Chains A and B, each alone.
Chain A
Amino acid sequence: MSILVIADHDNASVKPSTLVTIAAAEAIGGDIDVLIAGSGAADAAAAAAKIAGVTRVLLADNAAYAHDLAENIAELVVALGPDYSHIMTATTTSGKNFLPRVAALLDVAQISDISGVVSADTFERPIYAGNAIATVQSSDAIKVLTVRGTAFDPVAAEGGSATIENVDIVKDPGLSSFVKEEIVKLERPELTAASIIISGGRGMQNGENFALLESVADKLGAAIGASRAAVDAGFVPNDMQVGQTGKIVAPDLYIAVGISGAIQHLAGMKDSKVIVAINKDEDAPIFQVADYGLVADLFKAVPELDSML
C-alpha cells in the first residue's frame, strides 16, 4: 500500500494538522508520500521531509497552487492519485473544499473526518454531530479520506529524512480565481492548535464583554472560542465558532463561559481533556460534560478567576 497525504501548509511550514493526518496514515500502514502544493513552498517541503515516517515529499511549486483553489489542487491530486491506495488530508476548510472533488473525479467515495482506523478499508467517523460513531467500510480501489484533527496523536515533526521530488504537473482549468483574503491576525494561539481554550456563549450578552475572556486568555496563553449562539448573535466572527459546523477542538483545558451546551456545541469540544463550565443556570446541559462546573454569574466569576491567575 502507498498513501498520499496532501499537506496543510502555509508555504513556509507544515501545519500541525498534517502531523495528525500522517499519524492516521501510519495507522493504515504503508509508504507515505506527502504532497506540498503551493507557491514558493520549498521551506514547507523541507519541513515535511523532516517529519517522522515520511518516505517522499512531492513538491508542486507553481503560482497555480498559490491559493488552494479547489479546481487546481484537485486536478493535480487526480493526476498523482492512481498510484496510491489511499489519498488523505486534514479536515480543514481547504481539505473539505478540494478533496471531494478529487474523489468524484476518481469515481470513488470519500470518507469524511475519520476519527479511527480499523483496517486499511474500514474507518470510524462521527455522524450526527458526534452523537453517533459509524464504522464504515469502503469498497473502492482508492480510499479518499479526511482526518479529524483531534483524533490521532501527531507524529514527530523531526526525525525523518525523506527525499524531495519536484512535480512539474501544472493544472489550472481557469474556473475560479483568488481575489483577496482577510485572515484575522491572532496574537493568541489558533483554536485548533491551542492547549487551552476559553469560549463564550450567548451568556456573554455582547461582543464587548469578550474582553473579560481575553484577559484570562492572555494569562493562560489560551485561544478564544465561541458558541454558534454567540456567532449568530453577532458578538464575534464565525471563525471563532466551536461546534458541529465550526471548528472541532480537543485542548487540554476547555473553559465554557455562558454556554448552555447545545449538542452542536458539545460536538466540537467534548473530546477536550478537562472541561470547565461556568454558567448561572445549574440545569444547563454543559454541566453534564464538565469535569468542573461552577454555577455562578459569569460577570462576577470571570473577573475573579482573572484575578487569581
Chain B
Amino acid sequence: MKVLVAAKRVVDYNVNIRVLSDNTGVDLNNVKMSLNPFDEIAIEEAVRLREAGTAEEVIVVSVGTSACQEQIRTALALGADRGILVETDEDMQPLAIAKVLKAIVDKEQPSLVIAGKQAIDGDNSQTGQMLAALAGLGQATFASQLVMGDGEATVTREVDGGAETITVKLPAILTTDLRLNEPRYASLPNIMKAKKKPIDVYTPEDLGVDVTPRVKTLKVEPPASRKAGIIVESVEELVDKLRNEAKVIS
C-alpha cells in the first residue's frame, strides 16, 4: 500500500515571531523555516509503516511556493520515497490545500494519508478533516497510536479528558498528535541520498483546483501584553499577596 504524507513549511518552532509594524502580517524575512513539527511525526509514522513492511511507498506532498522543496527534501531525508510539490504563490488556506490534496489523492490512490493535527503558524487544525470530507473518507484525528489491520485501522485518539479508540475504514485520513512517535533525525548519508529522490511539480491549475482564498486577513496585531508583575521574596509574602491583594485564594 501507499502512504501519502502532507507536509507544510512553517516558521521554525523556536522562532519568536514579530508582527510587522504595518500590521499586514508577521515578519518572515530571514526567519528560519522548518517542517511543521506535527508533519515530522506524520512522516515518521509513514516511514515506520514501510520499515515494518505494511507500506510499500511513502510519498510526501507539500503545497506552497518553490521554497517548499527544502521541506520536501527534509522529508525525503527522513525516509519518504518521493515528493510532490504543488507550487503556487497564492495565500493557501486550509480549504484550498485540502482541495489540492484531494486531487493528489485521486491521482495516487493511497491507502492512508497522514497529516499533522495542526500547523504551528495558522493553528487552524482543519486540513486533514477537510481532505477526508472532500474525498468521502473516514478520519482519525489527533492520533496517539495507529494499528493497521485488514481494510481498517485502529486508532487511539487524544480527546479532552483522556483517550478514545476508534476503527476507521481504509483508505482513511490520520492526523498526528504529539505522542504518536518520536521522529528520528536525518543522517548525513540519508540527506545525500534524498538529493537524488524524485520530486514531481504541479500547479493547482494542472490539477484543476480553484485555490482562491475565501478569508481575507484585514490586519495582524501583537497580543495585548501583560503588565509587569513583581518578584516576591518568600512563600509567606506570596500567600499574603494572593489572599489580600489579588484576592484569588481564601
Contact = CB atoms under 8 A, between A and B. Distances in A.
Interface in A80-124: 92-94, 96-105, 107-113, 122
Nearest to A246: B178
A195 B35 CA distance: 37
Residue of A99, A109, A293 with most chain B CB atoms under a 10 A cut-off: A109
A178 B126 contact: no
A129 B121 CA distance: 7
Band of interface residues on A? 35 or more
B32 to A, nearest CB: 14
B160 A181 contact: no
A232 B241 CA distance: 33
Band of interface residues on B? 35 or more
Given A70-B141, A238-B178, A245-B118, A253 B95 contact: no
Contacts of B232: 292-294
Interface of A is mostly: mixed
Contact of B159 (A69, A140, A181, A305): A181
A2 interface: no
Interface in A120-135: 122, 126-135
Interface stretch (A56-64, A169-177, A202-210): A169-177
A161 interface: no
B107 to A, nearest CB: 19
A67 B165 CA distance: 11
Contact of A292 (B164, B168, B242): B242
Contacts of A136: 215-218
Residue of B128, B144, B226 with most chain A CB atoms under a 10 A cut-off: B226
Contacts of B130: 100-101, 103-104, 110
A65 B241 CA distance: 48
Nearest to A293: B231
B239 A309 contact: yes
A137 B228 CA distance: 33
Interface in B129-148: 129-134, 136-142, 144
A98 B125 CA distance: 11
Contacts of A128: 11, 17, 26, 120-121, 123
Given A129-B123, A245-B118, A253-B248, A292 B220 contact: no
A276 interface: yes
Residue of A92, A130, A180, A181 with most chain B CB atoms under a 10 A cut-off: A181
A110 B124 contact: yes
Given A130-B223, A275-B229, A109 B165 contact: no
Contact of B214 (A94, A140, A275, A296): A140
Contact of A96 (B138, B141, B162, B223): B141
A239 B161 CA distance: 6
A13 interface: no
Contact of B249 (A113, A131, A220): A220
B114 to A, nearest CB: 16
B163 A182 contact: yes
B120 to A, nearest CB: 7
A92 B128 CA distance: 16
A98 B132 CA distance: 10
A71 interface: yes
Contact of B140 (A176, A238, A270): A176
A138 interface: yes
Given A101-B132, A305-B239, A135 B141 contact: no
Contacts of A190: 160-161
A140 B94 CA distance: 14
Contacts of A296: 235
B188 interface: no
Nearest to A183: B162
A122 B19 CA distance: 20
B108 interface: no
Residue of A74, A132, A301, A305 with most chain B CB atoms under a 10 A cut-off: A132
Given A181-B163, A220-B249, 10 more contacts: A92-B160, A98-B129, A102-B133, A104-B131, A105-B133, A129-B120, A134-B217, A138-B215, A270-B226, A289-B229
16 contacts: A96-B129, A101-B139, A102-B133, A104-B130, A109-B95, A109-B215, A133-B223, A135-B217, A135-B221, A176-B167, A238-B144, A239-B161, A253-B249, A291-B229, A291-B246, A294-B234
Interface of A: 67, 69-71, 74, 92-94, 96-105, 107-113, 122, 126-140, 173-184, 186, 190, 192, 196, 220, 228, 231-232, 237-239, 244-245, 247, 252-253, 263-264, 270, 273-276, 282, 287-296, 301, 304-305, 308-309
